[in-house]
Chain A
Amino acid sequence: MLTIGIDIGSVTAKGVLMSDGALLAAKSCFTGYNAEQAARSVYEGLLEGNHLTKTQVKGIVATGYGRNSVPFADKAVTEIMCHAVGANHLKPDVRAVIDIGGQDSKAILLGERGKVLNFIMNDKCAAGTGRFLEVMARALEVDLDAFGSMSEKADYAAPISSLCAVFAESEVVSLIAKGEKRENIIAGIHAAIGSRVAAMAGRLFVGGAASLMMTGGVARNVGVVQALEKALRHSVDVSPHAQIMGAIGAARLAQAA
């Protein structure tokens, strides 16, 4: 059975095509200001790229902040449940998921079969989100994609104590003025995010989870993953499909929709 999962995030729209749980194709684009348009372009891209007609796809589930702007989906499900189902699909023993997205971060506790036992979200503040990293990349004039590898070359993590993105940015600016190495500053930024997210996730006792996975676009940044591992004192799994985890979960749920 062919299904599609579409995850409309605040920054990127992601779509995957699956056949009975096997990932066939993925597509993404910037969400932009029109969530419905982004959903359509991902959807049509998946159909065309795989020479499919609409009727061949038997179920579509939408998720993410734009989940209610996808009129052609059979169902809208929150990204909390989709990330849980997606993570469980790729690694059935996962018991906790930490998802750092563009404008929020969340921790989810899982039971068997990807069942959500509890979750917690930070969305009132940019610290601990992808947006925080974007702001810092701009201040440092470094391409965000280089953050991970650069932080691995750091001698130490320059201390950044502010939790507020605006304050942290001015801390970064003064570190630059003091001549601190970029690599060290980046490592400091990662450490700040790691401890921020770990503090939030700690409320759910994710540290007690047998197996923990990080999902969301920020998971591609190995610096953040390592900082998170350090702050949580727990190893963190990252799937190569971290960024499309929500869409994978949605496509899985579409089988039952």
Chain B
Amino acid sequence: MSDKNPEKDTKTVKSEKKMRDIMTAYYIDAKTARQNNKKVAWITSGGPVEPLIAMDIIPVYPENHGAMIGASKMGIDLCEKAEAMGYSSDLCSYARADISCATVNGGPIGGLPAPDMLVCCNNICGTVMKWYEVQARYFQVPLFIYDTPFLHTEYSPEIKRYAKRQMEEYISFLEGVTGRKMGRDRMMEVGRISYAGSQLWQEVLDTAVSKPSPMTAFDAFFHLALIVTLRGTQQSVDYYRGLLAEMQERAKAGIGAIPGEKYRLLWDNLPIWYRMKWLAEKFAEHDACLVADTYTSAWCGSMQYIDVHDFIGSAAEAYTRSYLNLGVEKMARIVLGMIDKYDIDGIVMHSNRSCKPYSFGQFDIQKIVERERGIPSLLIEADMVDERSFSESQVETRIDAFIEMIRENKVAGR
């Protein structure tokens, strides 16, 4: 990514190219689904995708598409279009970009293939429900809302029963739309593969405990695409196996993503898709490595609740326990765990204008982390897709000052 880091370009290029090929093939598949008599379901990023795969329905992720729109710097145009349609500029920019993109088939890949059904799981936010209702009306297709109660404190027996029952309802919904029965054996198999994929993804992220870290969060943002879009397929398992080997090799050889890594930072919230390169270079210039983040680990964070022998039964719990569906206390525990695991010197929090559930508790998490670990955190105000909420010189000053402060602390402390 960064031209200041030629070492990295040669080392991860193998996986990076493979990733681009897989994603291209995936979108071609999805766009030609109709010709091949396949059905397409749009699904939220944290939704239970495995039953779709088991039923040969192609899952398509408007959020992944939103990230692509952001990364190709097409966000402002599409957000403005949505605003002209009457949507508030306070609405999540993924939702705005998707809603307007559907009407013009714009964006970097000429729009997503039209859905045959929509699957919305509210384990990430409440916005997705209204967003998917809008799209269900627009495309005139059936919508299934998988409702995961917010876990303020605990996973109660009532929640457990409720979440599990919905998994069954979800499957009957899919059977109704496709007119086919779901093969339970095939489902078990997909569940097993999905679990294996998540496990590998966690292992990839874990390689960042090495000093220096073989990868940065910016790498993770890139390699994340498959665990989101192709979770439950053999392809994703193979890909992450390859990536893991590559990262382990780098770790063993002592090759850091940031040559001369001095500071290890944790990123919180979604990436700022249109400024990835700039941010990566900015941190690299300070010898700071964002070794981990709370975002990409969301796709493996609740893996421990999965029972591969009863995927359907246990997945309901794992999906309900997703990071954004937890109370602030629990989120802070997870952040503290990551600080210890990756030996973090400071936290960079993206206060994301779009994503309220992610940004809302940040002040509290900041306070908890400071109290319990004495680690400083920086707040950057921006938006993941809408560039109008980003100011380069202001963000730059904050990052520079933050690193100056950490540097002083390190000098004083050692």
Contact = CB atoms under 8 A, between A and B. Distances in A.
16 contacts: A77-B404, A78-B397, A78-B400, A78-B404, A79-B397, A79-B401, A81-B401, A104-B394, A115-B408, A116-B405, A116-B408, A119-B401, A119-B405, A121-B394, A123-B381, A124-B391
A123 B363 CA distance: 17
A130 to B, nearest CB: 15
Interface in A159-202: none
Interface of B: 363, 370, 376, 379, 381, 391, 393-394, 397-398, 400-401, 404-405, 408, 412
A116 B404 contact: yes
Contacts of A80: 397, 401, 404-405
A65 interface: yes
A115 B379 CA distance: 20
Interface string A97-120: 000000010000000000111111
A5 to B, nearest CB: 16
Tell which of B363, B391, B398 has the most Cβ of chain A within 10 Å: B398
A104 B393 CA distance: 12
Point out which of A78, A79, A80, A121 has the most chain B C-beta atoms below 10 A from its C-beta. A78
Contacts of B391: 123-124
A13 B394 CA distance: 17
B376 A118 contact: yes
Pairs A-B, 4 closest by C-beta atoms: A80-B401, A78-B401, A123-B394, A116-B405
Contact of A203 (B363, B397, B400): B363
A65 B391 CA distance: 12
Interface string A77-102: 11111000000000000000000000
A131 to B, nearest CB: 14
B87 to A, nearest CB: 21
Residue from B370, B376, B391, B401 having most chain A Cβ neighbours under 10 A: B401
Interface in A107-147: 115-121, 123-124
Interface in A192-241: 203
Contacts of B404: 77-78, 80-81, 116
Contact of B401 (A65, A116, A124, A203): A116
Which of the four size classes fits the interface of chain A? 10 to 19
B366 to A, nearest CB: 8
A116 B407 CA distance: 10
A203 B365 CA distance: 13
Nearest to B395: A123
Contacts of B412: 115
A78 B398 CA distance: 8
A126 to B, nearest CB: 13
A78 B402 CA distance: 9
A104 B401 CA distance: 15
Nearest to B382: A124
A79 B376 CA distance: 18
Interface string A46-78: 000000000000000000010000000000111
A116 B379 CA distance: 16
A76 B285 CA distance: 14
A65 B397 contact: yes
A124 B397 contact: no
A123 B400 CA distance: 15
B109 to A, nearest CB: 32
B377 to A, nearest CB: 9
A93 to B, nearest CB: 19
A78 B393 CA distance: 11
Given A116-B405, A118-B370, 14 more contacts: A65-B393, A65-B397, A78-B397, A78-B400, A79-B401, A80-B404, A80-B405, A104-B394, A119-B401, A123-B381, A123-B391, A123-B394, A124-B381, A203-B363
Contacts of B400: 76, 78
Nearest to B396: A68
A25 B394 CA distance: 29
Contacts of A121: 394, 397-398
Interface in A10-29: none
A121 B397 CA distance: 10
A58 B408 CA distance: 23
A79 B396 CA distance: 12
